[in-house]
Amino acid sequence: MCGIVGYLGNSNTKEILLNGLKELEYRGYDSAGIAILDNGAFYSNKAIGKLHNLEEKTEAFNSKGFSLGIGHTRWATHGKPTEQNAHPHYGTDTYIVHNGIIENYQELKSELEKGGVRFNSQTDTEVFVHLFEFYQKSLGNYEAFQKTLKRVEGAYAILLITKNSETIYFAKEGSPLMLGLKDDEKFFASSDAAVLGLCNDVHFFEDGEFGYVDAKGFHIESSESKDIAFQHASLADDKISAQKEGYRFFMEKEIYEQSDVLADTLRGRVLDSGISLQELDGEFLDGINEIKLCACGTSYNSALVSSYLLERQAKVRCSVEIASEFRYKEPLLLKDTLFVVISQSGETADTLEALKMAKKAGLKTLAICNVDNSSIVRLADKSILTRAGVEKGVASTKAFATQVAVLWMFTLFIAQQKSTLTKDELKQELKTLRAIPKAAIVKDELHEKVKRLSKRYLHGHGFFFIGRDLFYPLALEGALKLKEISYLHAEGYPSGEMKHGPIALADPELFTIALLSENILFEKTKSNMEELGARDSTMCCVSSHFYDKADDFIKLTKYDHYMLEFYEMMVATQLLSMEIAVRLENDVDMPRNLAKSVTVE
């Protein structure tokens, strides 16, 4: 959830920390802070709200020559978003930044309080720093650090600095952390975005690794090995594409980018002869009779879309699980099931834990993910990258578009292996697949229309997004987008289900966004819309077929395949959410209470 950075070297430590935090701000942004050890003295500052508040507060400070520091941008889990609860947390002469949750902190806190320690914050993190200082009284720094690690339970990526040593101590368990090297400089970050362009020789820590860096070098170990080798992984330079490029928001840029990134997603994978997924070559899918898809949020919605495709086209039994539910339901896991996790970030804690459970049960696992080297990619047996590029808007757009594309390719890959489609049918699907980048282009007239009509949809008591078949998960995704950035209540529903209760809410103040496909269950969906219209719900119809009973109509291109309709409708619903949020003057890219990457349970 939070973002952490660290630096040791001769450059301007404050600038490096603040620039790194700026890149990570999308992960959590209710407060931020830094601590720098400069010539034996600490400088530390924190500010609530966005990073520019911290930038203003630290304007007067600059380190000279060699120094080291740590920084943090927070998404509150324990304790309100106040300055006291912001990181770095401190003891007498020690500062720490932490991403994750220390689960046994209450127990440790009581123990420390009994010994006379006074706490400055309500966070779980602070116990670490006091416990460290307690052990430091009788042990060396590194021994005290290790002893503290043994006492804490939960998930963490931790950086700690203490006054009597020009060293950064680190540990990783369940939350992402990496170390980058360039000449004599050392960089830490919870995600590579913070260090792109600064270093290109990195080590992605595995769970259980810990150690320290100082001016002389670094040391990495774990309980299994006293000397872990540096991985020397390299980073792609993606910085330029991560800028806004003239769009008002990252979300807008990312909606407009979808056509291009979809082309990247398909590149080299959709051939005239069929789908080529080298990642799955060989015998990987042999013996698989069922597919279980597991994810959270938007990624869950894309999984649901693919469940329709997998059963329809590949004739494979398929179920979809919300990761946070799956973890605790004591699921029945059979060895002939392929377990597929879907995640943009590859760091979502619930999805990662679900993956661990499936692996433990001996299932074959596949990750569909946007971030190479992420925890989920590293853990799964196989992975297919979605190639969406850096997604900065908290509300996912291009990640969803590319996930659906990969899942559809995956479906066709199985269909061709099992011959569940005829040659002609497969050819037709491949042709349609190649056409999705075009269907996802944002047309000026569509954007203008949505912009204009969005003003009607700012008030009222709620929204229903409705659709049938795989337009139902698209309705779920449309409602999720709207909720996230407009803060208006919205639900996605299967059109046919409205009459079983929700229609009781219908009146002119209830807004229905109807996703009316001309290719799938057209008449049935139309009847459901009429039922709502008869009860005076204000309705916006999104379709290629003119529906004269709607209050508003968003006209789409006429296609002969539902997946092309799907992609254009997806764009229309994304634009609608964004334009409503703009009119409400909300922060489109960093909506309240959210974080880009949810690395806590």
Q: Which residues bind ligand M6R (CB under 6 A)?
A: 296-299, 343-345, 348, 351, 394-396, 480, 484, 597-598
> Shortest approach of ligand M6R to residue 246 CB, angstroms?
23
Query: 75 near 26, Cβ under 8 Å?
Result: no
The residue ranges of DSSP E strands in 353-430, in sequence order, are 364-369, 382-385
The rounded distance, in Å, linking the Cα atoms of 182 and 364 is 38
The rounded distance, in Å, linking the Cα atoms of 171 and 175 is 10
Q: Which residue is nearest to ligand M6R (CB)?
A: 297
**Closer Cβ to ligand M6R, 26 or 210, answer by number:** 26
Which amino acid is present at 395?
A: A
The rounded distance, in Å, linking the Cα atoms of 447 and 132 is 56
DSSP state of 371: S
Residue-by-residue DSSP string for 265-300? HHTTTEETTEE--GGG-TTTTTT--EEEEEE-HHHH
**Closer Cβ to ligand M6R, 73 or 597, answer by number:** 597
498-532 as b/e: b if 16+ CB within 10 A: beeebbebbeeebbbbbbbbebbbeeebbebbebb
The rounded distance, in Å, linking the Cα atoms of 549 and 368 is 41
Report CA-CA distances (Å) from 102 to 26, 70, 253, 598: 23, 19, 37, 16
The rounded distance, in Å, linking the Cα atoms of 393 and 327 is 28
Query: Has 318 been annotated as catalytic?
Result: no
> Shortest approach of ligand M6R to residue 55 CB, angstroms?
26
The rounded distance, in Å, linking the Cα atoms of 459 and 166 is 56
> Shortest approach of ligand M6R to residue 216 CB, angstroms?
37
The rounded distance, in Å, linking the Cα atoms of 301 and 298 is 5
**Closer Cβ to ligand M6R, 13 or 344, answer by number:** 344
- Rounded to a whole number of angstroms, the CA Rg of the chain reads 25
Tell the residue number behind the tokens 């000026």, with chain if given.
444
The rounded distance, in Å, linking the Cα atoms of 292 and 276 is 22
**Closer Cβ to ligand M6R, 6 or 297, answer by number:** 297
**Closer Cβ to ligand M6R, 345 or 486, answer by number:** 345
> Shortest approach of ligand M6R to residue 396 CB, angstroms?
4
> Shortest approach of ligand M6R to residue 3 CB, angstroms?
14
The rounded distance, in Å, linking the Cα atoms of 259 and 254 is 10
**Closer Cβ to ligand M6R, 101 or 503, answer by number:** 101
> Shortest approach of ligand M6R to residue 374 CB, angstroms?
9
> Shortest approach of ligand M6R to residue 341 CB, angstroms?
8
**Closer Cβ to ligand M6R, 394 or 532, answer by number:** 394
Query: 171 near 158, Cβ under 8 Å?
Result: yes
Which amino acid is present at 364?
A: K
Give the three-state DSSP class for 589: coil
Query: 72 near 3, Cβ under 8 Å?
Result: yes
Q: Which of 58, 69, 55 is nearest to 11 (CA)?
A: 69
**Closer Cβ to ligand M6R, 532 or 581, answer by number:** 581
Sign of the four-CA dihedral 120, 122, 128, 130: positive
The rounded distance, in Å, linking the Cα atoms of 3 and 175 is 10
Q: Which residues are paired to 494 by β-bridges? A: 467
Q: Are strands 154-162 and 167-173 parallel, antiparallel or unpaired?
A: antiparallel
> Shortest approach of ligand M6R to residue 304 CB, angstroms?
13
Query: Has 2 been annotated as catalytic?
Result: yes
> Shortest approach of ligand M6R to residue 169 CB, angstroms?
29
Among candidate residues 2, 296, 318, 369, the one labeled active-site is 2
> Shortest approach of ligand M6R to residue 243 CB, angstroms?
21
Give the three-state DSSP class for 2: coil
Counting beta carbons within 10 angstroms of the beta carbon of residue 23, is it exposed (0 to 12), middle (13 to 18) or buried (19 or more)?
buried
Q: Which of 461, 460, 440 is nearest to 573 (CA)?
A: 440
Query: 550 near 540, Cβ under 8 Å?
Result: yes
Among candidate residues 109, 292, 483, 596, the one labeled active-site is 596
**Closer Cβ to ligand M6R, 141 or 370, answer by number:** 370
**Closer Cβ to ligand M6R, 395 or 516, answer by number:** 395
Residues acting as catalytic residues:
2, 596
